[in-house]
Structure 1
Amino acid sequence: MSTLKHRWPTWFALALVVATFADGLPALEFLAWLLVGMSVCYLIFGALRGELRRPGVLMLQTAGLLGFGVLAMVALAVDHSLGWYVLAAGWLGHAAWDFAHHRAKMVVPRAWAEWCFVVDLLGAAAMIFMS
């Protein structure tokens, strides 16, 4: 039972993904901007926790924001049928980003990284299978 309690971010993420995708895909534009917003959250957490002052961290977080932002914009620029796959790739990339931050115990709280990993992974799967 304690294992289930420690996984509260996962349970919360599962509930959010089900609620978001239960009645179909939200607008591509919404999910693209959400990818950018998730990346901005890492910068905000890093600033609030003082982690951006560490050597190279601000540059890495900024590169992540730019990379995910480019993927989001490409997804919006191409035909929607292809855009869903580009956006899903961006969300999968962000899931890897979350995993790396969770393992490193840096920039964001581990609970946030766990929650975001599950949302990104399942959200990407929904985009791939529902588009």
Structure 2
Amino acid sequence: MHTIAHRWPTLIALALAALTFLDGRPAPEFLAGVLAAMPLFYLLFGVFRGELRRPGALAGQLAGLVCFAAVALSAACLNGTLALLVLAAGWLGHAVWDAVHYARARVVPRQWSEWCGVFDACGALALLLAAGTVTG
């Protein structure tokens, strides 16, 4: 029970992912917008926590913002399966981004990067399922 209590960010992420993706019909436009907006939270956390003052921290966060926005914009310009696959790659990339932040314990609280990483991985899986590339 002690371990489960310490994994509350994961439990919240799984519950939110179930509510968001369980119907099996992801809304690509909405999910592209979420992908583009997610890095903004990292910038806000970084500002409020004073983490962006370290050398390279702001540049790294801005690079992430540009990359995820570019993937989101690319997906928004596509249709069908290809749009879902591009979005899945973006969401999986953001899960990796979260894992790096979790491991380094910088910019955002570890609980944030944990729940966001789990939610993003679930989102990527849901997008792959919707694209028909993964069979359940």
Matches of 2:80 and 2:73 in 1, distance apart?
12
Q: What's 1:78 paired with?
A: 78
Instruction: Deviation per CA, 1:16-58: give whole Å up to 9, x if none.
Output: 0000112232311100010111111000000010011111000
**Where in structure 2 are there 5+ consecutive unaligned residues?**
132-136
1:28 aligns with 2:28: yes
| Structure 1, unaligned runs of 5 or more | none
1:81 deviates by 1.9
Letter in 2 for 1:27: A
User: 1:44-55 to 2 correspondence within 5 Å?
Assistant: 44-55=44-55
Q: Matched residues in 1 for 2:18 and 2:62: separation? A: 30
1:99 aligns with 2:99: yes
Count residues with an aligned counterpart: 131
Q: Which residue in the other structure is 1:39 paired with?
A: 39
SS in 1 for 2:124: helix
CA distance in 2 between counterparts of 1:5 and 1:38 reads: 26
Indicate the residue corresponding to 1:111 in structure 2: 111
Which aligned pairs between 1:4-23 and structure 2 lie closer than 5 A? 4-23=4-23
Q: What CA deviation, in whole Å up to 9, does each residue of 1:43-93 have, x standing for no partner?
A: 000001001111100000000000000000000112232010001000000
Displacement after TM superposition at 1:98 (Å): 0.2
The normalised TM-score by structure 1 is 0.97
2: CA distance, partners of 1:55 / 1:26 = 38
TM-score normalised to the size of structure 2?
Answer: 0.94
Ranges of 4+ aligned residues in structure 1 off by more than 6 Å: none
Percent of pairs with identical residues: 53
